[in-house]
Amino acid sequence: MKKIENFIKHTFKDIPKEGKSEIIKTVTESLIEKVEDLMEKGLSEQESIDKAVIEFGTIEDFFDNTAKEEKKKKRIKTLNHYRNDLLFSVVGSIIIVSIILFINLNYAPTTLWFVIPSVAIIFWPLSILYNLLNKRESRKGEKDE
């Protein structure tokens, strides 16, 4: 079964060292069991090894689900980050507009000049909302594929 051990070591040579020995041990045991099962069905040792290796596939097949889960967690974290940014920008804009309105009404009540800076301040939460919606749309586009 040295061939299987060599195959596994060569296949998993580029993965990070964290948990590498555990993964190699588990996959090696699994493939050795597969080879033994195939040998019991009447295949030669070499044929059994070849068939087990072919059925194992590539490292991408093995880590495909793990990578998708990590990508999904990262996307959710990014969307939560954008939601927090949106909440902060809305609250901040309300506070700033309120301060400008207070100053306007107390010091120049005849002229309503607070509208002009308020319009500019409203673009802050709008830009954050735009980014959030773009992230959501890109996520929907990936699901459709």
Tens digit of each residue's pLDDT (9 = 90 or more) over 23-49 = 778 888 888 888 888 888 888 888 888
> 3: burial class by Cβ within 10 Å (0-12, 13-18, 19+)?
middle
pLDDT of residue 12: 74
pLDDT of residue 51: 84
Helix (H, G, I), strand (E, B), or coil: what is residue 101? helix
Domain extent listing, the chain: 2-57, 64-144
Does residue 139 register a pLDDT over 70?
A: no
Assess contact for 89 and 128: CB atoms under 8 A: yes
Q: Averaged over 45-74, what is the pLDDT?
A: 75
Q: Averaged over 126-141, what is the pLDDT?
A: 83
pLDDT of residue 62: 62
pTM summary value: 0.52
Assess contact for 38 and 65: CB atoms under 8 A: no
